[in-house]
């Protein structure tokens, strides 16, 4: 099966990818190339756009702003029309505070809002990872983001948790995921997830299936599906190799018996087929 056929039959989406315009490694062209190689039907570039946290996501020294967004939009609009089976979407990933997108002609197709930090000032100490007050504040913050303005997708609600100030240096990626699972099981109650899902339904917000951290946990995804929540699939790739690493989400959705209609996708610039499926911008 050639790449195009594979795309048409698979309908795979990866809606969360970073480039070298923020803290990722690949160029937009490298992302596109990999998206084609992996047979994706929709690929979305979603660089960090967060003027309230200048240091966040700018390890590369690149701070993403309107100019950078405009450049990506122009790049996308100038792509040759030779491959209509791959839709390229340009989103942004903001933090917990909405950002000012003041120029009408420079608007992302969609916004991922992620609680990369909590806005209430709660002192944290190294080694104090299981501070109930802090995680209650996080849960409140996430709930506000889900139901607030300027959000199409809430990113990694139970992964990449804001625990930087509490960790000793030197933990591995897997160790941090282990800590997150512990935080999740201690504090993130079913009640909270249900509140988040209800708010998501009321505000037509999608919840992300975050493939890099394999969150939210399976039983909560199942609950969300039962409640009618739509989920957005994202690898959160920061390098080209990880673009399209979305098997976890698709396997999960399938194993829970849910159809593709449970998956959210950006409608702007999507092909007619997808547009007629009728989702919200
Ligand atoms: Zn993020
Ligand atoms: Zn991200």
Q: Please give the full DSSP string across 136-204, using - where no structure is assigned.
A: HHHHHHHHHHHHSSS-SEEE-TTSS-S-GGGSPTT--HHHHHHHHHHHHHHH--HHHHHHHHHHHHHHT
Residue 117, pLDDT above cutoff 90: yes
The model carries a pTM of: 0.91
In a domain, 280, yes or no: no
Q: Phi and psi dihedrals of 14, rounded to 5?
A: -130, 110
pLDDT at 280: 39
Number of the ligand closest to the Cα of 234: 2
* Residues in Cβ contact with 72 at an 8 Å cutoff, skipping those fewer than 6 apart: 19, 21, 28, 45, 47, 90
Distance (Å) from CA 160 to ligand 1 centroid:
7
Distance (Å) from CA 93 to ligand 2 centroid:
6
Write out the residue range of the structural domain in which residue 205 sits: 3-275
Number of the ligand closest to the Cα of 236: 2
* CATH number of the domain within which 23 lies: 3.20.20.140
pLDDT at 165: 86
Give the residue-averaged pLDDT of 159-179: 94
pLDDT band at 274 (very low <50, low <70, confident <90, very high): very low
In a domain, 281, yes or no: no
pLDDT at 84: 72
In a domain, 166, yes or no: yes
pLDDT at 53: 82
pLDDT at 54: 62
For the ranges 54-58, 111-115, 180-184, the lowest mean pLDDT is seen at: 54-58
Its sign, for the CA torsion 105, 64, 71, 74, is negative
Percentage with pLDDT > 90 across the chain: 80
Number of structural domains, the chain?
1
In a domain, 116, yes or no: yes
pLDDT at 8: 47
**Ion ligand 2: residue ranges with CB closer than 5 A:** 93, 236
Distance (Å) from CA 215 to ligand 2 centroid:
13
Number of the ligand closest to the Cα of 56: 1
pLDDT at 164: 83
Distance (Å) from CA 183 to ligand 2 centroid:
20
Distance (Å) from CA 218 to ligand 2 centroid:
21
CB count in 10 Å sphere of residue 266: 27
């Amino acid at each position: 099966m050639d790449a195009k056929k594979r795309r048409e039959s698979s309908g795979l989406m990866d809606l969360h990818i970073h480039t070298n315009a923020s803290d990722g490694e690949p160029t937009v062209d490298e992302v596109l190339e990999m998206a084609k190689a992996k047979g994706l039907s929709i690929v979305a570039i979603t660089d960090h756009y967060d003027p309230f946290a200048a240091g966040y996501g700018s390890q590369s020294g690149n701070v993403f702003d309107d100019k950078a967004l405009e450049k990506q939009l122009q790049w996308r609009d100038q792509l040759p029309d030779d491959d209509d089976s791959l839709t390229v979407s340009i989103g942004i990933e903001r933090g917990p505070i909405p950002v000012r997108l003041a120029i009408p002609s420079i608007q992302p197709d969609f916004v991922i809002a992620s609680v990369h930090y909590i806005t209430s000032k709660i002192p944290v100490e190294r080694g104090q990872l299981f501070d109930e007050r802090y995680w209650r504040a996080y849960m409140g913050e996430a709930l506000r983001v889900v139901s607030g303005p300027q959000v199409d997708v809430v990113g990694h609600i139970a992964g990449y948790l804001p625990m930087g100030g509490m960790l000793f240096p030197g933990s591995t990626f897997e160790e941090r995921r282990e800590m997150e699972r512990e935080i999740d099981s201690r504090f993130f109650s079913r009640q909270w997830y249900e509140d988040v899902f209800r708010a998501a339904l009321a505000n037509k917000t999608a919840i992300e299936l975050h493939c890099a951290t394999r969150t939210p946990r399976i039983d909560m995804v199942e609950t969300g599906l039962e409640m009618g929540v739509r989920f957005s699939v994202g690898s959160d790739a920061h390098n080209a190799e990880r673009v399209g690493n979305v098997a976890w989400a698709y396997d999960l959705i399938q194993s829970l018996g849910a159809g593709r209609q449970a998956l959210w996708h950006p409608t702007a610039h999507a092909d007619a087929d997808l547009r007629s499926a009728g989702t919200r911008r």
